[in-house]
Amino acid sequence: MIPVHGFKGETVAVLGLGRSGMTAARALREGGATVLAWDDGAKGRDAAEAEGFEVRDLTRSGALEGVITMIVSPGIPHLYPAPHPAIRAAWDAGVAVDNDIGLFFRSLGYDAPRTVCITGSNGKSTTSALLHHILTAAGKTAHLAGNIGRGVLDIDMPGEDDVVVLELSSYQTELARSLTPDICVFTNLSPDHLDRHAGLGGYFAAKRRLFAEGGPDRAVIGVDEDEGRFLANQLQEAPVDDRVIRVSIGKLTGPGWQVTAKKGWLAEHRKGRQVASVDLRDIPGLPGRHNHQNACAAWAAARALGLGPREIEAALRSYPGLPHRSQRIAERGGVIFVNDSKATNVDAASQALQAFRKIRWICGGLEKDGGLHALQPHFENVAKAYVIGREADAFALDLGSGVEIEICTDMATAVSRAAAEAQPGDVVLLAPAAASFDQYDNFERRGEDFIACVAALD
């Protein structure tokens, strides 16, 4: 655990007592702070009381008297669609609002390790895990935390020569008061969490803040969308500026530092000259164009950390992949079963549909804003769609024409029907293009149900 510095003898409130909130409370107490804890759910409050924290309703009049800072968990709205009442109370009382990411950076001190922060709409988990794998395979001591795995304050205090890899969501980058990463990575941008950020512009602004206020030494920017091009242009000072590394799954021109993966071939260019190349197409842990983009981003970050092309390539080939992200879980009678439950939005699902051919596609769930029309260009790869979810009929209607559809509602039925109709060479793919909360607690539970249903096939 990393003890939080700067609050010894002070009173700090923690709002939200999930993984990050409880870790922050423990780290604050370890650093000598008095912690007041609150969660809207009784389960969280009971857990805090069991660990000896004082539980206090932070919305109550006078509850913030003597409090210097409020630490807010990522899941709690702090501005849109409406601030939590406790946050409004903090504003009124003049109490600073921060999160565990801000506490992490302010607690590192002068002998801080190198820190790589990775954000974006899709691919940030894979990019983070892949970079961590590359560093570990190269013999470096690396820590993986943030929006993936452990809470950022839950890792052991890193040494000066260590590398900390943090996956950060827009919820985390938007609120952190202290952001001092060495390297920042922006994978891509597609519409997501729009209610939480009052639209796409607010969503991008939350991501951009990591770069604009973080002031990294190096920035790895995916430039396949206009937002990435805009961000790269804002950060560069000249056409040849090695502080910015552009990443694309297409062709890039110009004299700067670039890493591309056109048609599955990763190529690194510097000052107009190719310095390395790797064929990604036969790497089982990185299937499809979207994973090739992730590989480019991780490659660029590893190169910025001083690793050589050969050791990075070797690590790419040994990467096992992440659960629920293009995860190949079984092959039965020539039919491959792939779990991409993390494809919770249209952009992620479209990437999954481009990664395979002859797809028996399991999709559906809690549909997000923006509709499903962007998936239609990829229906040529889909033999049939099997729709799950409590609103499966509406989801199927929104898919429109161009693909055969069967309403299955539940996972077991969808897996059974897809497996029964699949032919050798087909891929049964779970890529929901929707959130899981209509039927599951999270996308992990949905993926686990898919795996269990596949295992239960005769």
Q: 345-381 burial string, b = 16+ CB within 10 Å, else e?
A: bbbbbbbbbebbeebbbbbbbbbbeeebebbeebbeb
Cα–Cα distance between 440 and 427 in angstroms, integer? 24
**125 carries a ligand binding annotation:** yes
Q: Is 123 annotated as a binding residue?
A: yes
* Pairing relationship of beta strands 183-186 and 218-222 according to DSSP bridges: parallel
Spatial distance between the Cα atoms of 163 and 116, rounded to a whole number of angstroms: 7
Task: Flag whether 120 is marked binding.
Answer: yes
Q: Which residues contact 398 (CB under 8 A, 6 or more apart)?
A: 367, 371, 372
Residue 272 annotated as binding site = no
Known binding residue 214? Answer is no
Place of tokens 């769930």: 365
Rounded distance between C-alpha atoms, residue 197 and residue 434, angstroms: 19
Q: What tokens were used for 10?
A: 């002070």
- The answer to whether the CB of 33 falls within 8 A of the CB of 54 is no
| 124 marked as part of a ligand binding site | yes
Please enumerate, as own/partner, the contacts of 306-310 that have beta carbons within 8 Å and a separation of 24 or more. Answer: 307/134, 307/135, 307/138, 309/268, 309/275, 309/276, 309/278
Residues 6+ apart with CB under 8 A from 233: none
Q: Which residues pair with 273 in a beta bridge?
A: 270
Q: d(Cα 320, Cα 49) in Å, to the nearest integer?
A: 40
- Check if the beta carbon of residue 2 is closer than 8 Å to that of residue 27: yes
Q: Is 121 annotated as a binding residue?
A: yes
Calculate ∠ Cα 156-162-165, nearest 5°.
80
Angstrom distance (rounded) from CA 458 to CA 456: 6
From the CB of residue 390, how many other CB atoms can be counted at a distance below 10 Å? 14
Q: Which residues are annotated as a binding site?
A: 120-126
Q: Which residues are annotated as a binding site for ATP?
A: 120-126
